[in-house]
Amino acid sequence: MKINFLNKAAFVFGLALLAAWNAPAEEKCTACHQEEQRFSPFHDPRQIGCVVCHGGNGASNIETIAHQKMEAYPGRIASAASSCGQSNCHPKLIPLAENSIMQTLNGMIEVTREAFQEEKPLDRHLSAEQRLSETGADSYLRKLCVSCHLGSERQNHQQTLRDRGGGCSACHLETFKFEKNQTGIKSKADPGSSSVIRDKVHPRLTVRIHNDRCFGCHSRSSRISLNYVGLAEVEEMDLTQHSDFGYLPDRRLVEKQKADLHSLAGMACIDCHTVSGLMGTGVPVTRHRQQLDIQCSDCHQTVLQKKPAGTLTMREAIYPALYPAQYYVSKQGEVVVTEKQKTPLFHIQEDGELRVLQKKLNGEKIEIPPMRQSGHHSLKGHERLSCDSCHAAWAPQCYGCHISYEAKGMQWDHLKRKKTPGRWVEKRWRLENKLPALGVTKNNKIAPFVPGMNMILEKNPGAVPVVQVRYSQISPHTTQKKGRSCQSCHQNDAALGIIGEWAVSPQNPSWQVPVGWIEKGADFPGKAVQNGARSLNQEEIQRISRVGACLQCHLPQDPVYQDFEKALPYLHKQQTNSK
């Protein structure tokens, strides 16, 4: 049922009309800047002018005067408050962007300092530029990591797979792509298509954010942008299967793997990830999972979370103007919301037993299957399992990493945007893409974990190397309908995080890192990157392995697994009688 307490067409028209009433004095910018424009009514220069975003002196047609105090890249963090955040625009969104984990990098900074054994206060009220010194862990971050943060300065108006940063523009700026044919250059109907970029069309602002905007940053580290579409970074090409390999724009080699079922269904990142999960609530956090809003259960649980449409905030109520065809409430006047932050999921429609998601990019509808309360979901002992524990098909895992510092070298500093003294060198080996190990979150849930800070660190030439083995919780974004087999957990030491071998560097045999998290029979669980998380302990490992011993005879469908602990005496008696 479409919402009936708000006339969407009148709402959109009213906002556009309001912009027209507040139209600025005549500006002369377009006398020189004659790019084709495809703005929505909200940002159309014919309604609001150019100066409101770009600054400068629109009354002059003399370039030097017109461009005084002009902002070439409005929306970047340094100028967001005076461009996007003006009182008549989006002032309430600026604190969200400024305090988002994608801007503060609190988790990245804290974890890296801990790994370098340089723990110190985060100084959360300061920007990354102010917090990061030019030595040790901070220097490493400046040289190799912080290009992936909203505060990175934008150097052009293009949006390619390699562009990062730019504040609001990092996500909301959309450039138009073109392809050449025999008659010249023609526009592509799909802004997300792969082709050349033409500079005769002014980029527009959009809330329909394509996946390629996420790719620049999220194709690295846990590589979820790659995982989602079924691409795995690898070290070598299998020449017998060369058609399964290819190169990314930055020349990384990738291999085809199973894509996430949501990706195969044509869902974009924004179909799951909410504004609260991406931009936060304005309150700084130290880990991205504190900011993350969406969960599998928000769409797939038997009874969805809802709230009365009459309780929507002003910012939430503007949604119909942004997505006029995707705004639903139930017959009872309720809106589906996330469990964590009660963020409205207006594009989720539930009518009786039918549950539908309407894609934000193209409006296509797909059915959402509710989670079954039977089979493996109902087994005693599985209560702590996260959905990813079983339904993630694979995850990227890098076991070997050697990091060293060369004081005499020069390297690009992403904050100063120039080369500065000191160079960090990373060498890796043993990169695999397979089922992840399982560990325990701080909330005592079982979830996938992969090597996060498994490395040999030499902070100074001649210094004693520091070996770190820390796993990190991951949401692999490789979801499949069919879960992993019972044997892959209950009869597999690797799934339990137990070290089976050591990854030896082919470049230097003395560089060795364990393939696994903890030694077999270890007294204490292994450390994790996330505070409060850990590997499985010995009691948990023994319980899991005990099921594995029975799987040799009793198939997974056997009723004994419905309540395994209760069935154990019967199994022991049966085993004794058979001897």
Average pLDDT score over residue span 24-48:
83
Average pLDDT of every residue of the chain: 87
Structure tokens at 296: 């599998």
Res. 199 pLDDT band, cuts 50 70 90 = low
Nearest C-alpha neighbor of 313 from the set 276, 360, 349: 276
Residue tagged 């003006």 (tokens): 86
* 172-181, 366-375, 404-413: range with lowest mean pLDDT: 172-181
Average pLDDT score over residue span 320-345:
87
Average pLDDT score over residue span 26-55:
86
- Alpha-carbon distance 252 to 337, whole Å? 39
pLDDT, tens digit, 9 for 90 and up, residues 533-571: 999 999 999 999 999 988 888 888 888 888 888 877 776
- Alpha-carbon distance 579 to 115, whole Å? 53
Nearest C-alpha neighbor of 217 from the set 296, 159, 276, 131: 159
Nearest C-alpha neighbor of 206 from the set 268, 147, 252, 254: 268
**pLDDT at residue 300 is higher than 80:** yes
- Predicted pLDDT at 565: 81
Residue 543: count of CB within 10 angstroms of its CB:
14
pLDDT, tens digit, 9 for 90 and up, residues 446-471: 999 999 988 999 988 888 898 999 99
pLDDT, tens digit, 9 for 90 and up, residues 402-430: 999 999 999 999 999 999 999 999 999 99
Res. 575 pLDDT band, cuts 50 70 90 = low
**pLDDT at residue 322 is higher than 80:** no
* 216-230, 362-376, 505-519, 534-548: range with lowest mean pLDDT: 362-376
Q: What is the largest CA-CA distance in the chain?
A: 99
- Count Cα atoms within 13 angstroms, Cβ side, for 35: 18
The ranges assigned to domains in the chain are: 217-267, 297-367, 376-574
* Whole-prediction pTM: 0.89
pLDDT, tens digit, 9 for 90 and up, residues 465-508: 989 999 999 999 999 999 999 999 999 999 999 999 999 999 99
